[in-house]
A and B are shown apart, each in its own frame.
Chain A
Amino acid sequence: MQDFEYHRPKSAAAAVEALCSGEARVLAGGTDLIPQLREGRRLARHLVDLKRIPELTAIVALPGGAISIGAAATLTSIAQHPSIAAHYPSIAQSARLVGSLQVQNRASLGGNICNAAPSADAVPPLICHEARATIAGRSGQREMAVGELFRGPGRTLLEADELLTAIILPPPPTRSAARYLRFTPRREMDIAIAGAGVWLSLDTRGSVAAARIVLASVGPTPMRAHAAEAALLGEQPSKALLIEAGRIAAGESQPISDTRGSADYRRELVSVLTKRALSDCCVQLKAEGAIA
Protein backbone atom coordinates (compact mmCIF):
# COMPACT_ATOMS: atom_id res chain seq x y z
CA MET A 1 0.00 0.00 0.00
CA GLN A 2 1.24 3.48 -0.89
CA ASP A 3 1.91 5.60 2.18
CA PHE A 4 -0.50 8.34 3.06
CA GLU A 5 -1.20 10.96 5.66
CA TYR A 6 -4.18 10.36 7.92
CA HIS A 7 -6.34 13.33 8.92
CA ARG A 8 -8.91 13.31 11.67
CA PRO A 9 -10.63 16.70 11.34
CA LYS A 10 -13.06 17.94 13.97
CA SER A 11 -15.55 19.68 11.69
CA ALA A 12 -16.97 19.40 8.17
CA ALA A 13 -15.24 22.67 7.26
CA ALA A 14 -11.90 21.26 8.40
CA ALA A 15 -12.60 18.08 6.42
CA VAL A 16 -13.19 20.11 3.24
CA GLU A 17 -9.94 21.96 3.92
CA ALA A 18 -8.09 18.64 4.26
CA LEU A 19 -9.67 17.36 1.03
CA CYS A 20 -7.98 20.23 -0.79
CA SER A 21 -4.55 18.71 0.06
CA GLY A 22 -4.38 17.00 -3.34
CA GLU A 23 -4.86 13.28 -4.02
CA ALA A 24 -7.05 13.20 -0.92
CA ARG A 25 -9.86 10.76 -0.33
CA VAL A 26 -12.67 10.70 2.16
CA LEU A 27 -12.45 7.85 4.66
CA ALA A 28 -15.89 7.14 6.08
CA GLY A 29 -16.56 3.46 6.85
CA GLY A 30 -13.52 2.39 4.85
CA THR A 31 -15.13 -0.93 3.95
CA ASP A 32 -14.54 -0.31 0.24
CA LEU A 33 -11.67 2.18 0.38
CA ILE A 34 -9.25 0.16 2.53
CA PRO A 35 -9.25 -2.97 0.29
CA GLN A 36 -9.02 -0.68 -2.77
CA LEU A 37 -5.94 1.05 -1.34
CA ARG A 38 -4.35 -2.23 -0.33
CA GLU A 39 -4.85 -3.71 -3.78
CA GLY A 40 -3.64 -0.55 -5.49
CA ARG A 41 -6.99 0.01 -7.22
CA ARG A 42 -7.09 3.50 -5.74
CA LEU A 43 -4.33 5.86 -4.75
CA ALA A 44 -4.45 8.48 -2.05
CA ARG A 45 -1.83 10.64 -0.37
CA HIS A 46 -4.26 11.95 2.21
CA LEU A 47 -7.10 10.14 3.95
CA VAL A 48 -9.69 12.33 5.63
CA ASP A 49 -11.49 10.39 8.36
CA LEU A 50 -15.04 11.66 8.92
CA LYS A 51 -16.11 9.36 11.72
CA ARG A 52 -15.13 11.65 14.60
CA ILE A 53 -17.06 14.63 13.26
CA PRO A 54 -20.32 14.77 15.24
CA GLU A 55 -22.21 16.79 12.61
CA LEU A 56 -21.39 14.13 9.99
CA THR A 57 -22.46 11.12 12.03
CA ALA A 58 -25.60 12.52 13.69
CA ILE A 59 -29.15 11.64 12.69
CA VAL A 60 -31.38 14.58 13.62
CA ALA A 61 -35.01 15.59 13.22
CA LEU A 62 -35.40 18.91 11.38
CA PRO A 63 -38.21 21.41 11.90
CA GLY A 64 -41.13 20.49 9.64
CA GLY A 65 -40.72 16.74 10.03
CA ALA A 66 -37.71 16.04 7.83
CA ILE A 67 -34.79 13.94 9.03
CA SER A 68 -31.14 14.69 8.36
CA ILE A 69 -28.73 11.75 8.25
CA GLY A 70 -25.05 12.65 8.55
CA ALA A 71 -23.21 11.22 5.54
CA ALA A 72 -20.81 9.28 7.79
CA ALA A 73 -23.58 7.75 9.95
CA THR A 74 -23.19 3.99 9.96
CA LEU A 75 -25.75 1.75 8.30
CA THR A 76 -26.33 0.14 11.70
CA SER A 77 -27.17 3.50 13.29
CA ILE A 78 -29.64 4.14 10.46
CA ALA A 79 -31.26 0.71 10.71
CA GLN A 80 -31.64 1.14 14.48
CA HIS A 81 -32.89 4.72 14.48
CA PRO A 82 -36.49 4.72 15.80
CA SER A 83 -37.78 7.55 13.54
CA ILE A 84 -36.22 6.05 10.41
CA ALA A 85 -37.59 2.60 11.26
CA ALA A 86 -41.04 4.10 11.89
CA HIS A 87 -41.35 6.58 9.00
CA TYR A 88 -38.91 5.26 6.40
CA PRO A 89 -38.90 1.48 6.96
CA SER A 90 -37.64 0.78 3.43
CA ILE A 91 -34.52 2.85 4.20
CA ALA A 92 -33.96 1.10 7.55
CA GLN A 93 -34.37 -2.30 5.88
CA SER A 94 -32.09 -1.53 2.95
CA ALA A 95 -29.32 -0.49 5.39
CA ARG A 96 -29.45 -4.08 6.67
CA LEU A 97 -28.87 -5.53 3.21
CA VAL A 98 -25.37 -4.13 2.71
CA GLY A 99 -22.63 -6.66 3.56
CA SER A 100 -22.48 -8.31 6.96
CA LEU A 101 -23.29 -6.86 10.38
CA GLN A 102 -19.55 -6.21 10.74
CA VAL A 103 -19.65 -4.15 7.56
CA GLN A 104 -22.86 -2.34 8.55
CA ASN A 105 -21.21 -1.36 11.84
CA ARG A 106 -18.61 0.60 9.86
CA ALA A 107 -20.00 1.40 6.40
CA SER A 108 -21.74 4.76 5.97
CA LEU A 109 -24.78 5.83 4.00
CA GLY A 110 -22.67 8.51 2.31
CA GLY A 111 -20.18 5.84 1.25
CA ASN A 112 -22.91 3.67 -0.25
CA ILE A 113 -24.00 6.72 -2.28
CA CYS A 114 -20.55 8.05 -3.25
CA ASN A 115 -19.19 4.67 -4.34
CA ALA A 116 -21.91 4.92 -6.97
CA ALA A 117 -22.26 1.19 -7.45
CA PRO A 118 -25.31 0.51 -9.66
CA SER A 119 -26.13 -2.26 -7.15
CA ALA A 120 -26.04 -0.04 -4.03
CA ASP A 121 -28.96 -1.31 -1.94
CA ALA A 122 -29.34 1.78 0.24
CA VAL A 123 -29.81 4.13 -2.72
CA PRO A 124 -33.15 3.23 -4.41
CA PRO A 125 -35.21 3.80 -1.23
CA LEU A 126 -33.53 7.22 -0.81
CA ILE A 127 -34.51 8.23 -4.34
CA CYS A 128 -38.02 6.87 -3.75
CA HIS A 129 -38.31 9.21 -0.77
CA GLU A 130 -36.89 12.14 -2.79
CA ALA A 131 -33.91 12.42 -0.46
CA ARG A 132 -31.67 15.47 -0.97
CA ALA A 133 -27.90 15.50 -0.66
CA THR A 134 -26.13 18.37 1.09
CA ILE A 135 -22.66 18.95 -0.32
CA ALA A 136 -19.98 21.17 1.20
CA GLY A 137 -17.12 22.60 -0.80
CA ARG A 138 -14.56 25.35 -0.53
CA SER A 139 -16.91 27.89 -2.04
CA GLY A 140 -19.88 26.98 0.10
CA GLN A 141 -22.71 24.53 0.25
CA ARG A 142 -25.03 23.15 -2.42
CA GLU A 143 -27.91 20.74 -2.40
CA MET A 144 -29.25 18.35 -5.00
CA ALA A 145 -31.52 15.35 -5.30
CA VAL A 146 -29.73 12.09 -4.43
CA GLY A 147 -31.07 10.70 -7.71
CA GLU A 148 -29.16 13.34 -9.71
CA LEU A 149 -25.76 12.63 -8.14
CA PHE A 150 -24.76 9.70 -10.33
CA ARG A 151 -22.79 9.86 -13.59
CA GLY A 152 -21.93 6.19 -14.09
CA PRO A 153 -20.53 3.18 -12.27
CA GLY A 154 -18.26 4.54 -9.53
CA ARG A 155 -18.75 8.14 -10.67
CA THR A 156 -20.74 10.98 -9.10
CA LEU A 157 -21.05 14.70 -9.77
CA LEU A 158 -19.04 15.51 -6.64
CA GLU A 159 -15.81 17.40 -7.25
CA ALA A 160 -12.61 16.07 -5.65
CA ASP A 161 -12.68 18.79 -3.01
CA GLU A 162 -16.38 18.42 -2.25
CA LEU A 163 -17.84 16.50 0.63
CA LEU A 164 -21.27 14.91 0.92
CA THR A 165 -22.28 16.03 4.41
CA ALA A 166 -25.88 14.94 4.90
CA ILE A 167 -28.87 13.23 3.35
CA ILE A 168 -32.17 14.96 4.02
CA LEU A 169 -35.34 12.87 4.05
CA PRO A 170 -38.51 14.92 3.53
CA PRO A 171 -41.47 13.91 5.69
CA PRO A 172 -43.47 11.16 3.97
CA PRO A 173 -47.02 12.22 3.05
CA THR A 174 -49.98 10.40 4.56
CA ARG A 175 -51.35 7.47 2.50
CA SER A 176 -47.88 6.65 1.15
CA ALA A 177 -45.67 3.58 1.42
CA ALA A 178 -42.27 2.49 0.14
CA ARG A 179 -40.52 -0.84 -0.30
CA TYR A 180 -37.17 -2.06 -1.65
CA LEU A 181 -36.65 -5.64 -2.77
CA ARG A 182 -33.57 -7.17 -4.32
CA PHE A 183 -32.66 -10.59 -5.59
CA THR A 184 -29.47 -12.39 -4.58
CA PRO A 185 -28.70 -16.08 -5.06
CA ARG A 186 -27.60 -16.28 -1.41
CA ARG A 187 -29.69 -14.99 1.46
CA GLU A 188 -26.85 -12.95 2.99
CA MET A 189 -23.53 -11.41 1.98
CA ASP A 190 -24.30 -10.98 -1.69
CA ILE A 191 -24.70 -8.27 -4.30
CA ALA A 192 -28.07 -7.67 -5.96
CA ILE A 193 -28.50 -9.14 -9.43
CA ALA A 194 -31.40 -6.72 -9.64
CA GLY A 195 -33.28 -4.54 -7.18
CA ALA A 196 -36.49 -2.51 -7.25
CA GLY A 197 -37.45 0.31 -4.93
CA VAL A 198 -40.97 1.64 -5.18
CA TRP A 199 -42.95 4.40 -3.53
CA LEU A 200 -46.70 4.84 -3.82
CA SER A 201 -48.91 7.67 -2.68
CA LEU A 202 -52.69 7.34 -2.87
CA ASP A 203 -55.44 9.96 -3.00
CA THR A 204 -58.49 9.86 -0.73
CA ARG A 205 -60.33 7.57 -3.20
CA GLY A 206 -57.50 5.04 -3.16
CA SER A 207 -56.17 5.86 -6.63
CA VAL A 208 -52.46 6.34 -7.24
CA ALA A 209 -51.65 10.03 -6.79
CA ALA A 210 -47.87 9.66 -7.27
CA ALA A 211 -45.45 6.81 -7.81
CA ARG A 212 -41.70 6.39 -7.97
CA ILE A 213 -39.90 3.28 -9.14
CA VAL A 214 -36.11 3.07 -8.87
CA LEU A 215 -34.18 0.10 -10.23
CA ALA A 216 -30.78 -1.18 -9.08
CA SER A 217 -28.15 -3.23 -10.94
CA VAL A 218 -29.88 -2.88 -14.31
CA GLY A 219 -28.17 0.23 -15.65
CA PRO A 220 -24.98 2.25 -15.22
CA THR A 221 -26.59 4.13 -12.32
CA PRO A 222 -29.65 3.59 -10.13
CA MET A 223 -32.47 4.41 -12.60
CA ARG A 224 -36.05 5.61 -12.53
CA ALA A 225 -38.69 3.64 -14.45
CA HIS A 226 -40.71 6.69 -15.51
CA ALA A 227 -43.06 4.91 -17.93
CA ALA A 228 -44.00 2.35 -15.31
CA GLU A 229 -44.65 5.18 -12.85
CA ALA A 230 -46.86 6.95 -15.40
CA ALA A 231 -48.89 3.79 -16.00
CA LEU A 232 -49.85 3.73 -12.32
CA LEU A 233 -51.03 7.35 -12.08
CA GLY A 234 -54.73 7.90 -11.44
CA GLU A 235 -55.45 4.17 -11.40
CA GLN A 236 -56.72 1.90 -8.66
CA PRO A 237 -53.80 -0.41 -7.74
CA SER A 238 -55.31 -3.68 -8.98
CA LYS A 239 -53.22 -6.81 -9.28
CA ALA A 240 -53.32 -6.56 -13.08
CA LEU A 241 -52.06 -2.97 -12.94
CA LEU A 242 -49.12 -3.89 -10.70
CA ILE A 243 -48.15 -6.74 -13.04
CA GLU A 244 -48.35 -4.34 -15.98
CA ALA A 245 -46.17 -1.77 -14.15
CA GLY A 246 -43.58 -4.50 -13.54
CA ARG A 247 -43.63 -5.45 -17.20
CA ILE A 248 -43.14 -1.83 -18.29
CA ALA A 249 -40.30 -1.32 -15.77
CA ALA A 250 -38.56 -4.42 -17.15
CA GLY A 251 -38.76 -2.87 -20.63
CA GLU A 252 -37.24 0.37 -19.36
CA SER A 253 -34.34 -1.31 -17.57
CA GLN A 254 -30.96 -1.41 -19.34
CA PRO A 255 -29.25 -4.48 -17.91
CA ILE A 256 -26.02 -6.02 -19.10
CA SER A 257 -25.09 -9.71 -18.99
CA ASP A 258 -22.26 -10.52 -16.61
CA THR A 259 -21.11 -13.27 -14.26
CA ARG A 260 -23.96 -12.56 -11.86
CA GLY A 261 -26.78 -12.83 -14.37
CA SER A 262 -27.86 -12.40 -17.98
CA ALA A 263 -29.67 -9.31 -19.22
CA ASP A 264 -32.81 -11.36 -19.90
CA TYR A 265 -32.77 -12.79 -16.39
CA ARG A 266 -32.34 -9.31 -14.93
CA ARG A 267 -35.30 -7.97 -16.91
CA GLU A 268 -37.43 -10.83 -15.61
CA LEU A 269 -36.28 -10.02 -12.06
CA VAL A 270 -37.19 -6.35 -12.51
CA SER A 271 -40.68 -7.33 -13.59
CA VAL A 272 -41.21 -9.64 -10.60
CA LEU A 273 -39.51 -7.45 -7.96
CA THR A 274 -41.34 -4.29 -9.07
CA LYS A 275 -44.69 -6.02 -8.94
CA ARG A 276 -43.94 -7.58 -5.53
CA ALA A 277 -42.67 -4.33 -4.05
CA LEU A 278 -45.77 -2.48 -5.30
CA SER A 279 -47.94 -5.23 -3.91
CA ASP A 280 -46.18 -4.98 -0.51
CA CYS A 281 -46.86 -1.22 -0.53
CA CYS A 282 -50.55 -1.95 -1.15
CA VAL A 283 -50.60 -4.36 1.80
CA GLN A 284 -49.11 -1.64 4.02
CA LEU A 285 -51.55 0.97 2.72
CA LYS A 286 -54.47 -1.38 3.26
CA ALA A 287 -53.35 -1.97 6.85
CA GLU A 288 -53.33 1.81 7.32
CA GLY A 289 -56.83 2.11 5.86
CA ALA A 290 -55.76 3.99 2.70
CA ILE A 291 -57.18 1.21 0.49
CA ALA A 292 -60.66 -0.13 1.09
Chain B
Amino acid sequence: MRMMITCTVNGEERTVLADTRDTLLGFLRERLGFTGTKEGCGNGNCGTCTVLMDGAAVNACLVLAQEASESEIVTIEGIADGDKLHPIQEALVAHGGTQCGFCTPGIVISAKALLDSNPDPSEAEIRHAVAGNLCRCTGYGKIVEAIAAAAAQRR
Protein backbone atom coordinates (compact mmCIF):
# COMPACT_ATOMS: atom_id res chain seq x y z
CA MET B 1 0.00 0.00 0.00
CA ARG B 2 1.07 3.57 -0.66
CA MET B 3 0.68 6.36 1.85
CA MET B 4 2.02 9.81 2.67
CA ILE B 5 4.43 10.26 5.53
CA THR B 6 5.29 13.62 7.05
CA CYS B 7 8.27 14.01 9.32
CA THR B 8 11.09 16.43 9.94
CA VAL B 9 14.48 15.35 8.62
CA ASN B 10 17.53 17.43 9.48
CA GLY B 11 15.34 20.38 10.37
CA GLU B 12 13.23 20.34 7.22
CA GLU B 13 9.66 19.09 7.12
CA ARG B 14 9.20 16.47 4.42
CA THR B 15 6.02 14.88 3.10
CA VAL B 16 6.75 11.89 0.90
CA LEU B 17 4.86 9.03 -0.68
CA ALA B 18 6.04 5.77 0.87
CA ASP B 19 5.17 2.11 1.07
CA THR B 20 3.47 0.95 4.27
CA ARG B 21 6.31 -1.57 4.69
CA ASP B 22 9.19 0.90 4.35
CA THR B 23 11.58 0.92 7.26
CA LEU B 24 12.83 4.32 8.34
CA LEU B 25 16.17 3.25 6.85
CA GLY B 26 14.70 2.50 3.43
CA PHE B 27 12.58 5.65 3.60
CA LEU B 28 15.60 7.86 4.32
CA ARG B 29 17.83 6.24 1.72
CA GLU B 30 15.47 5.41 -1.14
CA ARG B 31 12.68 7.98 -0.85
CA LEU B 32 14.64 10.95 0.44
CA GLY B 33 18.15 10.21 -0.84
CA PHE B 34 19.89 10.44 2.53
CA THR B 35 22.33 7.67 1.68
CA GLY B 36 24.80 8.68 4.38
CA THR B 37 22.88 6.34 6.69
CA LYS B 38 24.17 2.85 5.85
CA GLU B 39 22.54 -0.53 5.91
CA GLY B 40 24.70 -3.22 7.48
CA CYS B 41 22.91 -6.17 9.02
CA GLY B 42 19.35 -4.90 8.71
CA ASN B 43 18.58 -6.58 12.03
CA GLY B 44 19.57 -4.08 14.69
CA ASN B 45 22.87 -5.70 15.53
CA CYS B 46 25.48 -3.53 13.79
CA GLY B 47 24.31 0.06 14.35
CA THR B 48 25.48 1.41 10.97
CA CYS B 49 21.96 2.76 10.36
CA THR B 50 21.86 4.73 13.64
CA VAL B 51 19.92 8.01 13.40
CA LEU B 52 18.46 10.33 16.00
CA MET B 53 14.71 10.03 16.40
CA ASP B 54 13.32 12.77 18.64
CA GLY B 55 16.81 13.07 20.11
CA ALA B 56 17.36 9.35 20.86
CA ALA B 57 19.75 7.11 18.91
CA VAL B 58 17.81 4.33 17.19
CA ASN B 59 18.51 1.71 14.54
CA ALA B 60 16.62 2.99 11.48
CA CYS B 61 16.28 -0.60 10.24
CA LEU B 62 14.14 -1.44 13.30
CA VAL B 63 11.70 1.44 12.85
CA LEU B 64 8.88 1.54 10.33
CA ALA B 65 8.74 4.76 8.35
CA GLN B 66 5.13 5.10 9.53
CA GLU B 67 6.26 5.05 13.15
CA ALA B 68 8.46 8.05 12.38
CA SER B 69 5.54 10.09 11.12
CA GLU B 70 5.44 13.39 13.07
CA SER B 71 8.91 12.67 14.48
CA GLU B 72 12.09 14.63 14.18
CA ILE B 73 14.90 12.69 12.52
CA VAL B 74 18.56 13.68 12.32
CA THR B 75 20.83 11.76 9.94
CA ILE B 76 24.57 12.08 9.37
CA GLU B 77 23.77 14.69 6.68
CA GLY B 78 22.35 16.93 9.40
CA ILE B 79 25.39 16.85 11.66
CA ALA B 80 27.91 19.14 9.94
CA ASP B 81 27.29 22.89 9.70
CA GLY B 82 27.49 23.37 5.94
CA ASP B 83 31.10 22.63 4.98
CA LYS B 84 32.26 22.83 8.57
CA LEU B 85 32.47 19.39 10.15
CA HIS B 86 30.97 18.77 13.56
CA PRO B 87 33.63 18.58 16.34
CA ILE B 88 32.97 14.82 16.64
CA GLN B 89 33.67 14.38 12.93
CA GLU B 90 36.79 16.56 13.14
CA ALA B 91 38.06 14.52 16.06
CA LEU B 92 37.49 11.24 14.21
CA VAL B 93 39.55 12.60 11.31
CA ALA B 94 42.30 13.92 13.58
CA HIS B 95 42.58 10.66 15.56
CA GLY B 96 42.28 8.31 12.60
CA GLY B 97 39.08 6.92 14.08
CA THR B 98 37.85 5.81 10.69
CA GLN B 99 39.17 3.41 8.12
CA CYS B 100 36.77 2.09 5.53
CA GLY B 101 34.23 4.58 6.89
CA PHE B 102 31.15 2.38 6.66
CA CYS B 103 30.40 2.43 10.39
CA THR B 104 31.39 6.09 10.80
CA PRO B 105 27.98 7.74 10.25
CA GLY B 106 26.46 5.53 12.93
CA ILE B 107 29.39 6.12 15.29
CA VAL B 108 29.04 9.90 14.85
CA ILE B 109 25.32 9.77 15.66
CA SER B 110 25.84 7.57 18.73
CA ALA B 111 28.63 9.88 19.92
CA LYS B 112 26.40 12.91 19.42
CA ALA B 113 23.57 11.29 21.40
CA LEU B 114 26.06 10.60 24.19
CA LEU B 115 27.60 14.07 24.31
CA ASP B 116 24.20 15.78 24.07
CA SER B 117 23.12 14.07 27.30
CA ASN B 118 26.52 13.66 28.98
CA PRO B 119 29.11 16.32 28.09
CA ASP B 120 31.82 14.76 30.28
CA PRO B 121 31.67 10.99 29.73
CA SER B 122 34.15 8.53 31.20
CA GLU B 123 35.98 6.12 28.91
CA ALA B 124 33.65 3.35 30.07
CA GLU B 125 30.61 5.49 29.21
CA ILE B 126 32.02 6.22 25.75
CA ARG B 127 32.67 2.52 25.14
CA HIS B 128 29.15 1.66 26.29
CA ALA B 129 27.67 4.38 24.03
CA VAL B 130 29.27 2.89 20.90
CA ALA B 131 28.86 -0.77 21.91
CA GLY B 132 25.93 -1.01 19.51
CA ASN B 133 28.05 0.24 16.59
CA LEU B 134 30.25 -2.45 15.13
CA CYS B 135 33.54 -1.41 13.53
CA ARG B 136 35.51 -4.17 11.82
CA CYS B 137 38.49 -2.04 10.71
CA THR B 138 40.08 0.16 13.33
CA GLY B 139 39.14 -1.44 16.57
CA TYR B 140 37.68 1.00 19.02
CA GLY B 141 40.76 2.66 20.54
CA LYS B 142 40.96 5.57 18.14
CA ILE B 143 37.20 6.00 18.00
CA VAL B 144 37.02 6.21 21.80
CA GLU B 145 39.97 8.66 21.86
CA ALA B 146 38.26 10.82 19.25
CA ILE B 147 34.98 10.99 21.16
CA ALA B 148 36.84 11.86 24.37
CA ALA B 149 38.72 14.61 22.51
CA ALA B 150 35.50 15.97 21.03
CA ALA B 151 33.96 16.04 24.49
CA ALA B 152 36.99 17.85 25.94
CA GLN B 153 36.85 20.41 23.15
CA ARG B 154 33.15 21.12 23.61
CA ARG B 155 33.49 21.77 27.34
Contacts and interface: CB of A to CB of B under 8 A. Distances in A.
A99 B64 contact: no
Nearest to A188: B131
Contact of A6 (B64, B110, B132): B64
A189 interface: yes
A153 B113 CA distance: 35
Contacts of B110: 101-102
* Dominant secondary structure at the A interface: loop
Interface string A103-121: 1011000000000000000
Contact of B56 (A49, A105, A187): A105
B23 A100 contact: no
A101 B132 CA distance: 7
B57 interface: yes
A4 B62 contact: no
A126 B42 CA distance: 31
Contact of B57 (A4, A35, A101): A101
A31 B62 contact: yes
B14 interface: no
A1 B21 CA distance: 7
A interface bracket (residues with beta carbon within 8 Å of B): 20 to 34
Nearest to B65: A6
A51 interface: yes
Contacts of B50: 102
A195 B63 CA distance: 29
Interface residues of B, number: 28
A258 interface: no
B121 interface: no
Contacts of B43: 35
Contacts, number: 81
Contacts of B147: none
Contacts of B75: none
Interface string B58-98: 11011110110000000000000000000000000000000
A31 B44 contact: yes
A102 B44 contact: yes
B63 A34 contact: yes
B28 interface: no
B56 A76 contact: yes
Contact of A30 (B63, B129, B131): B63
Interface in B1-56: 1, 20-21, 23, 42-45, 47, 50, 53, 56
B45 A189 contact: yes
Interface in B96-155: 110, 113, 128-129, 131-133
A34 B62 contact: yes
Contacts of B129: 101
B85 to A, nearest CB: 23
Contacts of A189: 45, 131-132
A38 interface: yes
A30 B45 contact: no
A119 to B, nearest CB: 16
A51 B43 CA distance: 20
7 contacts: A5-B20, A30-B64, A100-B47, A100-B131, A102-B59, A102-B110, A105-B58
The 9 closest A-B pairs by CB, nearest first: A100-B132, A188-B131, A105-B56, A1-B21, A102-B59, A6-B66, A35-B43, A102-B132, A31-B62
